[in-house]
Each structure stands twice: as structure tokens, then as C-alpha cells.
Amino acid sequence: MNSLLLPGGGATRARFSFEVFPARSGAAALALGHAVQHLSAADPDFISVTYGANGSNRGASLDLVKYLRDHTDALPLAHLTTVSETREAVREAIHAIMDAGVHDFLALRGDPPRGTDESDAGVIGSLSSLELVQLISEARAERPAFTSVGRTAVAAYPNGHPLSRSRSEDLDWLVAKQEAGANLAITQLFFHADDYLSFVDDAGKAGLTIPVLPGLMPVATSAQLRKVASLAGQAAPADLARELEAEGGYAPELGVEHTVALASELLAGGAPSVHLYTFNRHEQVLAVLRELNLLTPDPVR
């Protein structure tokens, strides 16, 4: 277990986890295989694998989850979505993941598939993440040997989900996911420590007791920063945007520097851990962890 020395001299334990997504080409798959060996050697709590995001193939997610399980020491956590799927297809997907020996999930409604939006009948009729959490609990109960193991994570939105009209509606929904059986939450990307800290504070007052992992991504390029800003539904920090532009739009070290500063504030403010969106690369996220003193020497060369 790693430890982080916090301002004020107190020592506390801080942990980390990673997110990867299925590769879209043979060359990208080779690079990802290399990256996950490094990520796994860093001893994360888990490596999560996205599902159907950005139009990616859902079968490829299951293959990557299996690869992590069979070829690395890391614990895979499978994202699973319900959007435009029948209840029976979702149930089958849960069992396929469990058949692969994976019992940790991130239960999501999912982004609308390409070519559709929130107004699409298939999207409106989708099961919610709340119902997915319940289906995962039911599937666990059908497999008595595994009833007591496994994380059921859900998404949290420090700056609000677009479908929610207020923070209190968002928090009620998150607490409902906890009541349905979720035991972990992972946040959407955000840029300012107070976005997370005030959200977690309000969530605690609303009855949330499960850990909320802040999701962070060290960007390397101006294009990535724009993408992250659009996901977060927030304007990108002007200083980082300016500094990246001054470097011709590519400066991985700036993304590391900004993420280290943000993570330090979050951990000092009580975040239990950091969840790093890797963009399928290991160099920047490991540099962040090294700077934070959370990493023992990386044994993979």
C-alpha cells in the first residue's frame, strides 16, 4: 500500500485506479497491450474498461476485460451500459462478464449511440443505471459463491448531468443508486478541486456514504483538452489552454503538472483515491503518480 504525506505532516494512504478503452486497430491493440503491462505493474486498485463509448464495439470491451484478467495482475472492472438494449440482453452481458471471472462493474445508462440523441425513443426507453445496479445484484444472488464479492460502481457528476435539473436531483439520484446496491462512485471529469469537494460534501449531507473517486485526465494536446471540456460540460481552464497553444498544441508535461496540482488538492481535501483516465497511454498517468509519491518503482522496462 502506498502512502502520501499530506501538508501538515500527517500520513494517509492514497490509492489509484485507471480507465482504458478497447483499441480500434491492430496497431493500437499492440500499443494498449504494452501500456496495460505498465499500468498493471503500478499496482492499481483496478483497471476499468469502457463499454460502447464513442461507438466502440461492445465485444471488444469484453475481450479487453478478459485480457486484463488473464494476462495482467490488475483487477479488471467492466463498464456496462443499458442504452438501446433489452433487459434480457443486459442480463446476458452481465452473465458473460461474470462467466469470464470478472465480478466488478461500473453500471451506466450509457451515451446515446452514434446518430441518436437523448430524444431518441430507444434512448428514452433504456433501462437506467439504477435498474442495471439492481440487475447486477440479482445476477450475483444467482451465483451463490460470489454473492459477497465485487464492486458495483456508478457514475457521479460534480458539475451535474445534462439530464438533471438541479444538484439536489442529481444527488437524490446518486443516493438512490447507493440504495440499489452501488458501493462506489466515480466522477465525470472536472477541472477545479472545489467542484469535487463541494459535491462530495453535499452528497454526504444527502446521505451518500460510499466512496467517490475523482476522475482525472492528464491531457497532452489542445484537442484532448477541448474533448475533456466538452465531456465535463465546462469551459477548459484558460491558463492550461493558453500554455498548450504556446507549445504548438502538444505538451504532455503540462497535463501532468496540472493533474498533479489538482490531485494534490483533492487528496489533501479528503479524496480517498484518484481514478486516472489514461487515454490508453501509461507515461503521463504514471508520471502523475510518481510526482504524487504514490508509485513504487515501475518494474516493467
Q: Which residues bind ligand FAD (CB under 6 A)?
A: 50-53, 79, 81, 106, 108-111, 128-129, 155, 157, 161, 163-164, 169-170, 173, 186, 188, 215
Cα gap 129→177, rounded to integer Å: 8
Q: CB of 160: closest distance to ligand FAD in angstroms?
A: 7
Provide the H-helix boundaries in 42-184.
58-71, 87-99, 121-124, 129-141, 167-180
Q: CB of 142: closest distance to ligand FAD in angstroms?
A: 23
Q: Which is nearer to ligand FAD, 169 or 194 (CB)?
A: 169
Q: Is 142 a catalytic residue?
A: no
Q: How many CB atoms lie within 10 A of CB 194?
A: 13
Q: Which is nearer to ligand FAD, 65 or 106 (CB)?
A: 106
Q: CB of 27: closest distance to ligand FAD in angstroms?
A: 22
Q: How many CB atoms lie within 10 A of CB 209?
A: 9
CA contacts within 13 A on the Cβ side of 185: 30
**DSSP H or E run through 197:** helix 193-205
Q: CB of 63: closest distance to ligand FAD in angstroms?
A: 15
Q: Which is nearer to ligand FAD, 81 or 178 (CB)?
A: 81
Cα gap 260→161, rounded to integer Å: 26
State the first-to-last Cα distance of the chain, in angstroms, to the nearest integer: 22
Q: Which is nearer to ligand FAD, 167 or 290 (CB)?
A: 167
Dig out the grid coordinates for 275 from the structure.
Answer: 481514478
Question: Catalytic one among 19, 131, 247, 257?
Answer: 19
Helix, strand and coil content of the chain, in percent to the nearest 5, comes to 45, 15, 40
Q: Active-site residue numbers?
A: 19
